[in-house]
């Protein structure tokens, strides 16, 4: 029997004022895949991420994750189910250390006053030691172990993206939505970020859905790519199929 996708969304719609940002869109992400989401500026990619994670409520649509409907859950509940997202502009807390950012990400999210939680008081000693070990292990895997005690605010844009990925991994996710992991990143760090994504995918079986304008990144990482244009599904296929699809090329040229 064909394997059910890990994530399957259908009939998603979202209108802001007069603008229909997402129109009857669908997307599927297979388990253990690295799936791409591309499209010209303003195509609705980030809005689609917001709808999948319910950061913005869809006007209509269904989202099934790991066999369960999640479109009526709160974002923190969706994160608890194992669907986690990063943001185009990394939401690291600049006045906390890199390590504290990691530990905060692992906190049981209650949905209330999450950012105000004095997290030190909520972690018992053993749990704290284990969490710190895990945080340090993950910081090493994103190449930030030497920065553990530095303020996150002192990191470069690329390092913040790596920290965001580390933070996402602290939650033991099944699926990570990455919003432009290569944007604003020093080109020397981009290969590094790609290598780490591939490693987490191949070795740890993590599934990724990635918005990215850098086509080299899409080509080198993705098994399958969904294309949005003006809020609608335009195409889906392998990176090679997408790169030679005339409708896709026209959508980008028409920008």
- Residues that bind ligand ATP (rule: CB under 6 A) add up to a total of 11
CB of 231 to ligand ATP, least distance (A): 7
Q: Considering beta carbons, is residue 16 or 114 the nearer one to ligand ATP?
A: 16
Name which of 103 and 190 has its Cβ closer to ligand ATP: 190
Q: Is 21 in the site for ligand ATP (CB under 6 A)?
A: yes
CB of 41 to ligand ATP, least distance (A): 4
Please select the residue that binds ligand ATP; options are 8, 23, 26, 42, rule is CB under 6 A: 42
Q: Per rule CB under 6 A, is residue 43 in the interface with ligand ATP?
A: yes
Q: Does 71 bind ligand ATP (CB under 6 A)?
A: no
- Which range touches ligand ATP (CB under 6 A), out of 42-50, 126-134, 139-147, 169-177? 42-50
Residue 45 touches ligand ATP, criterion: CB under 6 A: yes
79 scored as a contact of ligand ATP (CB under 6 A): no
Long-range contacts of 150-156 (CB under 8 A, 24+ apart): 150/97, 150/98, 151/94, 151/95, 151/96, 151/97, 151/98, 152/92, 152/93, 152/94, 152/95, 152/96, 152/97, 152/98, 152/100, 152/101, 153/92, 153/94, 153/95, 154/94, 155/92, 155/98, 156/186, 156/189
Compare residues 5 and 44 and give the one whose CB is closer to ligand ATP. 44
Does residue 92 interact with ligand ATP by CB under 6 A?
A: no
Residues 45, 50, 54, 55, Cα dihedral to 10°: -170
Partnered with residue 240 across adjacent β-strands are none
Determine if 19 is a binding residue for ligand ATP (CB under 6 A): yes
Stretch that binds ligand ATP, among 13-21, 65-73, 120-128, 199-207 (CB under 6 A): 13-21
Pick the binder of ligand ATP from 3, 41, 116, 149 (CB under 6 A). Answer: 41
Residue from 39, 75, 158, 173 binding ligand ATP (CB under 6 A): 39
The sign of the CA dihedral 230, 232, 235, 240 is positive
Residues in the site for ligand ATP, rule: CB under 6 A? Answer: 16, 19, 21, 39, 41-47
């Amino acid at each position: 029997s064909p394997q059910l996708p890990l994530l399957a969304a259908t009939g998603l719609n979202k209108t802001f004022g007069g603008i229909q940002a997402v129109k009857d869109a669908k997307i599927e992400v297979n388990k253990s895949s690295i799936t791409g989401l591309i499209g010209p500026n303003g195509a609705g990619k980030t809005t689609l991420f917001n709808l999948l994670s319910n950061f913005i409520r869809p006007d209509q649509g269904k989202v099934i994750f790991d066999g369960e409907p999640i479109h009526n859950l709160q974002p923190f509940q969706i994160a608890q189910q194992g669907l986690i997202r990063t943001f185009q502009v990394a939401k690291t807390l600049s006045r906390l250390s890199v390590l504290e950012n990691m530990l905060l990400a692992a906190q049981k999210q209650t949905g209330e006053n999450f950012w105000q939680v004095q997290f030190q008081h909520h972690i018992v000693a053993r749990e704290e030691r284990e969490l710190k070990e895990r945080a340090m292990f993950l910081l090493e895997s994103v190449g930030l172990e030497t920065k553990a005690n530095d303020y996150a605010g002192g990191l470069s844009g690329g390092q913040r993206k790596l920290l965001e990925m580390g933070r996402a991994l602290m939650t033991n996710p099944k699926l990570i939505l990455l919003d432009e992991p290569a944007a604003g990143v020093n080109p020397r760090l981009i290969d590094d970020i790609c290598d780490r994504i591939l490693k987490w995918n191949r070795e740890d079986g993590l599934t990724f859905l990635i918005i990215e304008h850098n086509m080299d990144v899409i080509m080198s990482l993705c098994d399958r790519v969904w294309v949005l244009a003006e809020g609608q599904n335009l195409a889906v296929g392998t990176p090679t199929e997408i790169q030679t699809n005339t409708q896709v090329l026209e959508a980008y040229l028409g920008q």
